[in-house]
Amino acid sequence: MMRVGYPCANRTQKLHTNHKFVMKSFSIEKIKEKVNLNLKDFKKMLEYNLKHDLLFFRIGSECIPFASHQLMRDLEKEMKFRWQDQFAQQLLEIGDFVREHGMRISMHPDHFCLINSPSDDILEKSIQELEYHADLFECMKLDSTHKFQIHVGGVYGDKQSAMERFVQRYKENLSQRIKKHLVIENDDHLFSLEDCMWIHNQCGVPILFDTLHHECLNHSQETQRQAFARAAATWVRDRDGIPMIDYSSQTDEMNAKRGKHTEHVDIEHFERIVCKQVMCVVDEKDGNYIPFDVMLEIKDKEKSAVECIVPFAKYRELYHGPQRFKLEFTEEEIQAEIDEIEKQARISKRDENGIKLEPVKGEPGARKRKVKDEGDEQSTEEVEESPKKRTRKVKKEVKDEESQEEAGPSPKKKTRRVKKEIVDESVEDEEEQTASSSTKSRSRKSQKSKVMEEPEEETADESSEDEVLMDTPKRVTRSASQKAKGDLDVVKNHHEVVKQED
């Protein structure tokens, strides 16, 4: 079975496993409160994922806050509190759910987990952190096919010595219960796949291949196909399960650092890297294509994962044969799911980033409305148009037609001319009829208020014209989904090319 997944949080459902608290409020009651909330969200996300065939999921490392901290270990020594006992039943039920539905779980300890550090103190804390991850997997009774991944660590002025120190610590300091779940990942600026291969050859640790990191740091100048083939060979199928990979693409933000993940998946890039390169790698031992599970490190998480199901399933069927959810999701079903995500965001009056949305009225008809978020970025959504808006629009169109026929001055010039006439009339009225000045004043105010309405309508009309030019996320998503589905004949032609290359 080959799976698609996303990490840590479901933005549509507003669920995550990283509810935590600050050290100064540390208490047994606070631990119970946050862990219960994390496990509750964890179970809900797994149920959502099962419904959408997203069978690969990464838990946030803060699932048990301060689990590896000395304060927590002191409570355990004093026999006051053990999180492993307190939450044993909940974790076991989650593990049963995972096994029953063929899911796979992973974790990614924080960046401070550095087993190649020259500091003995950092080494000890890193080992305690890995022991906590192993405890969590054991409480769920997850076998060695479920993994937690780390980077090699720092260079500390001497890269070769840092790599050798990693190997030594792996062999001498890590327990077997850690080793059976631990994998290393090629990173984007220090340790390439080539470096990770050297470490694997010394100690046997499997390598999780990261496609974006390989684009950023590629000492061997290998293609994605060649690189994945080498990384996949480090996994022992009976012990480790099928290989895992991380996928993302570089964000298109201005001045973004190299390796920063994109906000939303580029389906064409996903197909090119994952489906047309990584997926068609052949195992030299048995001549079969190498299966794998892919973790989408995309910022909008489940929304992108849902869109990737169709192309992933299509190519997977071609290379690896029919499986559990062979083309189960059609393009229409994918679009329906995206519509539901957007609907839930509008109901909650906030988007997936937590930005407050404008209310949506239920009248028929639709127009585009801009919604400004905190980062000065703009998004659009389909909202309903009220009868008043439609009436104003019709009136405006009629007014525009009349003005074009008359070929008169522009609205702004007309406004200035009307204002001038009002002033001239007022002067004459004051000279001739001073007694009726108050009446004329009221008339001038009324005329001025009418004049001032015209620029407002012009501004609103200009804004609506600009809004029409902006594409909605739904339309963009539908276009991407159509491209993702593609034509199976094209896929088969690519398949023949790959066979000829092999």
Whether residue 235 sits in one domain with residue 117: yes
In a domain, residue 40? The reply is: yes
Give the whole-angstrom CA distance, residue 495 versus residue 502.
Answer: 11
Total structural domains within the chain: 2
Give 272-281 pLDDT, tens digit per residue. Answer: 999 999 998 9
Domain-embedded: residue 360: no
CATH for 239: 3.20.20.150
- pLDDT value at position 494? 56
What per-residue confidence (pLDDT) applies to 194?
97
How far apart, in whole angstroms, are the C-alpha atoms of residue 484 and residue 312?
A: 9
In which element (H, E) is residue 296 found? strand 293-296
Q: Does residue 369 belong to any structural domain of this protein?
A: no
Whether the per-residue pLDDT at 480 is higher than 90: the answer is no
Does 455 share its domain with 317?
Answer: no
Q: Indicate the range of 61-70, 213-222, 234-243, 339-348 predicted with least confidence.
A: 339-348
Residue 179 sits in the same domain as residue 322: yes
* Contact between 349 and 359 (Cβ < 8 Å): yes
- Pull the structure tokens for residue 297: 């490190």
Look at the alpha carbons of 152, 157, 159, 161 in this order and tell me if their dihedral is positive or negative.
negative
Instruction: List the one residue out of 274, 269, 277 whose CA is nearest residue 312.
Output: 274
Residue numbers of the domain that contains 422: 387-429+440-469
CA-to-CA separations, 392 to 273, 382, 385, 456, 467, in angstroms, rounded: 50, 19, 11, 12, 17
Q: What is the pLDDT of residue 346?
A: 60
Res. 384: pLDDT tops 50: no
Beta carbons within 8 Å of 5's beta carbon, 6+ residues apart: 49, 54, 55, 56, 57, 58, 104, 106, 293, 294, 295, 296, 305
Does residue 251 form part of some domain? yes
Q: Which residues of 51-80 are buried (b: 16+ CB within 10 A; e: fewer)?
A: ebbbbbbbbbbbbbbbbbbeebeebeeeee
Beta strands 56-59 and 15-16, pairing class: unpaired
- Please give the angle made by the CA atoms of 246, 170 and 197, to the nearest 5 degrees: 50
State residue 398's pLDDT score. Answer: 53
Question: Residue 440's pLDDT is what?
Answer: 47
Element holding 183 (H helix, E strand): strand 182-185
Burial of 413 (0-12, 13-18, 19+ CB in 10 A): exposed
In a domain, 305, yes or no: yes
Question: What does the block give as tokens for 116?
Answer: 């190649």
Asked if the structure places residue 481 within a domain, the reply is no
Determine the pLDDT at residue 277. 93
Let me know: does 102 contact 50? Beta carbons within 8 Å: no
Q: How many whole angstroms separate alpha carbon 109 and alpha carbon 181?
A: 12
* Torsion angles phi and psi, residue 55, rounded to 5: -100, 10
- Report the alpha-carbon distance of residue 241 to residue 458 in Å, rounded: 64
Q: Is the pLDDT of residue 11 over 80?
A: yes
With respect to residue 226, please indicate whether it lies within any of the assigned structural domains.
yes
401 in the same domain as 325: no
**Whether residues 268 and 403 fall in one domain:** no
Residue at a domain's end among 329, 344, 369 = 329
Question: Is 381 contained in some domain?
Answer: no
pLDDT score of 262 more than 60: yes
Residues 6+ apart with CB under 8 A from 272: none
Mean pLDDT score, 377-389: 44
Q: Are the CB atoms for 319 and 495 separated by under 8 Å?
A: yes
Higher confidence at residue 240 or residue 459? 240
Q: How many residues does the chain have?
A: 502
Asked if 320 and 407 sit in the same domain, the reply is no
Q: For position 319, what pLDDT does the model report?
A: 83
One domain, residues 320 and 404: no
Q: Residue 324 above 70 pLDDT?
A: no
Q: Kindly report the average pLDDT of the chain as a whole number.
A: 78
Statement to judge: residues 13 and 124 lie in one domain: yes
Lowest mean pLDDT among 71-80, 204-213, 290-299: 71-80
120-154: pLDDT as tens digits:
999 999 999 999 999 999 999 999 999 999 999 99
Same domain assignment for residues 279 and 404: no
Distance CA 451, CA 454 (A): 6
Instruction: Over range 321-346, report the average pLDDT.
Output: 60
| Same domain for 98 and 184 | yes
Tokens at residue 215, please?
A: 């684009």
Q: Are 133 and 146 in contact (CB under 8 A)?
A: no
Say how many C-beta atoms besides its own lie within 10 A of residue 258's C-beta. Answer: 12
DSSP 298-328: -TTTHHHHHHHHHHHHHHHHHHH---TTTT-
Contacts 24+ apart (CB under 8 A), 171-177: 171/203, 173/115, 173/123, 173/127, 174/115, 174/127, 174/130, 175/131, 175/134, 177/131, 177/134, 177/138
Say if residue 398 is in the same domain as residue 252.
no
226 and 302: one domain?
A: yes
Does the model's pTM come out above 0.85?
no
